[in-house]
Amino acid sequence: MVDNHWSSRTTFLMASIGVAVGLGNIWRFPYVVGTSGGGVFVLIYVATILVFAVPVLIAELMIGRRGQHNPVDAIKTVCQQEGRRPGLWNSIGFFSMAVPFIALAYYSVVAGWTLDYFIKSLSGAFSNVDSQQSAQIFDSLLASEPMVLLWHALIIAITAVIISRGLKAGLEKSIKILMPGLTLILIILVISAAILGDFRMGMEFLFRPDFSKLSAETVLMAMGQGFFSLGIGAGSIMAYGAYMKQDISIPRMSLIIASADTLVALMAGLIIFPFVFAFGLEPDSGPGLIFVTLPIAFGKIPLGSVLAAMFFLLLAAASLTTMLSMLECMTRLFEERFAWRRRTIVTLIAGASWCLGVLAVLSFNVLSDVFPLEMFTFFEGKTFFDLMDYSVANILIPFNGLLIVVFAGWAVSKKTTLMEFGDLSKSWYQVWRFIVRYVAPIGISTIFVLGLS
């Protein structure tokens, strides 16, 4: 028997924030800010969230609640209600399953690194390390296939155990523990950064825009990060929307989710950059900012091992909340389509995702010089891990997000969307409808096209 609804608005809110809050906020956001101009990037990012991402988030939740099924069947149900043939719209359901499956495979690999670094932090491995030693620690981890495979398997297994217990006994209970714990750790680390780091420099870097660094690439990166961070077009939000009760205001919840997601990203920046500036490290060190640059800072401050352990535990918890949504999204499809036990479904999906993730693990060692699709310009020089990341972030999510807003704006009737929009004024509804019909499709198409160039 499938649980049909969240037990409360608060639980839905925590779960949905958990979808958005993940590696995109705490790992990807700081290093993209660091390489994309600091404050000017943050300004465009916040504008993107408000103008583009929130309206799309509203649309996805609307479809999920209206359809009351997994994303594949939700689209069919809404089409039937509107008297339309699914046709091309079926591809929304397909992409909403493909994204979490591929994403879970490589996302869990990076999440596994956070578990390893949590253990390393507890052992004092980063005490007084220099840049060369820190890089060697990270390179040694990537080169150790058995170790990375073990962490990869462990975090997928934890995800599978939770989801196999069902919506209320598994997903809800874990979210009620993970989200408050994540929030507490964030607050402690921000306070620590304010005391032990160069907080003024960190604040200036994040919140003082330098418009001389504004470029078309900065705008594109900020828009792409906004969509990636909120998990729009990935299926999970639509799946969670199917569990919503009718008395929950979708626009209000969407604004709260987007605000919380943005706040967590900014808090991550306020944790990382004060430590980076305090020790003369480089904020534009790219993806290695978290796993190579930051441990150097932690190794030089009082209680650095404890703070490092808390930080990587935060990363692991944030990763897990997102992975739970990915696996739940896929599980509900098979649970509704077949009379299989939930535990069997979860085991099969998690096992298949782990197998695909093996290719991502090996991309950093034995398959590091294998580029399977190098005959295509878009994929030239990309390993299996790179292909998974690129296809999800640059192709599948933007394209599916585009289909979702066009579907909500043009295929679903005004009467239906107005009913799902809830009790906010009609003027706000008109703004939302205009954005999803005209503004958002143009913006998302721009991200999609330029992301492929």
Q: What is the CATH number of the domain that holds 307?
A: 1.20.1740
Asked if pLDDT for residue 4 goes beyond 80, the answer is no
* Residue 287, pLDDT score: 66
Average pLDDT, the chain: 87
Asked if pLDDT for residue 128 goes beyond 50, the answer is yes
**From CA 227, how far away is CA 253, in angstroms rounded?**
17
* Residue 140, pLDDT score: 93
Asked if pLDDT for residue 146 goes beyond 80, the answer is yes
**From CA 352, how far away is CA 447, in angstroms rounded?**
30
Asked if pLDDT for residue 21 goes beyond 80, the answer is no
* Residue 28, pLDDT score: 80
**From CA 394, how far away is CA 400, in angstroms rounded?**
11
**Is residue 234 in a domain?**
yes
**From CA 192, how far away is CA 308, in angstroms rounded?**
11
pLDDT-based confidence at 240, cuts 50/70/90?
A: confident
* Residue 396, pLDDT score: 86
**From CA 3, how far away is CA 232, in angstroms rounded?**
24
pLDDT one-digit tens code per residue, 192-216 = 889 988 999 989 988 888 888 888 7
233 vs 361: which has the higher pLDDT: 361
Tell me what the mean pLDDT of segment 177-185 comes to: 86
Q: Which percentage of the chain shows pLDDT scores above 90?
A: 30
pLDDT one-digit tens code per residue, 151-170 = 999 999 999 999 998 888 78
Asked if pLDDT for residue 1 goes beyond 60, the answer is no
DSSP letter, residue 197: S
CB-side exposure of 136: number of CA atoms within 13 Å? Answer: 7
**Is residue 3 in a domain?**
no
156 vs 52: which has the higher pLDDT: 156
The domain containing residue 27 runs over which residues?
9-451
**From CA 407, how far away is CA 39, in angstroms rounded?**
34
Tell me what the mean pLDDT of segment 112-136 comes to: 90
**Is residue 92 in a domain?**
yes
Asked if pLDDT for residue 3 goes beyond 60, the answer is no
**CB 246 within 8 Å of CB 65:** yes
pLDDT one-digit tens code per residue, 322-359 = 899 899 889 988 888 887 889 999 999 999 999 999 99
**Is residue 52 in a domain?**
yes
Looking at the whole model, is its pTM more than 0.85? yes
Cβ neighbours, 10 Å, residue 184: 12
Q: CA geometry: angle at 119 spanning 236 and 139, to 5°?
A: 85
Reduced to 3 states, what is the DSSP secondary structure of residue 262? Answer: helix
**Is residue 329 in a domain?**
yes
**From CA 316, how far away is CA 324, in angstroms rounded?**
12
**CB 22 within 8 Å of CB 318:** yes
**Is residue 1 in a domain?**
no
Domain tally, the chain = 1
- Helix (H) or strand (E) run with residue 171 in it: none
pLDDT-based confidence at 2, cuts 50/70/90?
A: very low
Q: Which of 88, 38, 374, 4 is nearest to 221 (CA)?
A: 38
Asked if pLDDT for residue 10 goes beyond 80, the answer is yes
Asked if pLDDT for residue 288 goes beyond 90, the answer is no
* Residue 119, pLDDT score: 94
**Is residue 4 in a domain?**
no
**From CA 58, how far away is CA 249, in angstroms rounded?**
10
Residues in the chain: 453
Tell me what the mean pLDDT of segment 135-147 comes to: 92
Instruction: Sort residue 380 into left (φ over 0), alpha (ψ -120 to 50) or beta.
Output: beta
**CB 328 within 8 Å of CB 96:** no
**Is residue 393 in a domain?**
yes
Phi, psi of 424 (to 5 degrees): -70, 160
**From CA 404, how far away is CA 401, in angstroms rounded?**
5
Asked if pLDDT for residue 231 goes beyond 80, the answer is no
Asked if pLDDT for residue 178 goes beyond 90, the answer is no
List of residues 6+ apart from 143 with CB closer than 8 A? 364, 365
Residue 76 CA from chain centroid, whole number: 26
Question: E-strand spans in 30-121?
Answer: none
pLDDT-based confidence at 303, cuts 50/70/90?
A: confident
* Residue 200, pLDDT score: 92
pLDDT one-digit tens code per residue, 71-99 = 989 999 999 999 888 888 989 988 999 99
Asked if pLDDT for residue 115 goes beyond 80, the answer is yes
